[in-house]
């Protein structure tokens, strides 16, 4: 099993969700986050005063997938989140040792 984490632009969240739903992914977790990559923020002017915006708003999407579904999920999220501009985000996958469904006590693949 893998935990796929994607940090994407907020306006791409619906597209990412639809892509995952289309692959049969039943559950996901979404968190509002902020950060920066290579662009490291920018300067803006508000009421005549210049200030620096270091962190950009992003959305973090976490989904647990089987090993067999990993490549399809990575491809689907990449296509759904891509705008072709700097700041589109990152996706990574990590190995999961165990998953437990709290309600039933199921473990492993059956808990997903």
Tokens of residue 20, six digits: 């995952």
Percent of residues, the chain, with pLDDT higher than 90: 68
- Report whether 56 contacts 90 (CB < 8 A): no
Domains of the chain: 2-111 (3.30.70.120)
Q: Tell me the pTM.
A: 0.85
Confidence band (pLDDT; 50, 70, 90) for 77?
Answer: very high
Helical axes 13-22 vs 70-81, angle rounded to 10°: 150
Alpha-carbon span 57 to 32, nearest angstrom: 7
Helix, strand, or coil (residue 96):
coil
28-62 pLDDT, tens digit per residue, is 999 999 887 776 666 677 777 777 777 888 999 99
Alpha-carbon span 66 to 87, nearest angstrom: 28
Length of the chain: 112
């Amino acid at each position: 099993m893998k935990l796929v984490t994607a940090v994407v632009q907020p306006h791409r969240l619906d597209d990412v969700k639809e892509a995952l739903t289309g692959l049969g992914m039943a559950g996901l977790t979404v968190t509002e986050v902020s950060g920066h990559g290579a662009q490291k923020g920018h300067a803006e002017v508000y009421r005549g005063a210049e200030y620096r915006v270091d962190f950009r708003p992003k959305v973090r999407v976490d989904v647990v997938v089987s090993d067999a579904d990993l490549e399809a999920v990575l491809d689907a999220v990449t296509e759904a989140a891509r705008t072709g501009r700097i700041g589109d985000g990152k996706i990574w996958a990590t190995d999961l040792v165990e998953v437990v469904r709290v309600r039933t006590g199921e473990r492993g693949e059956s808990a997903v």
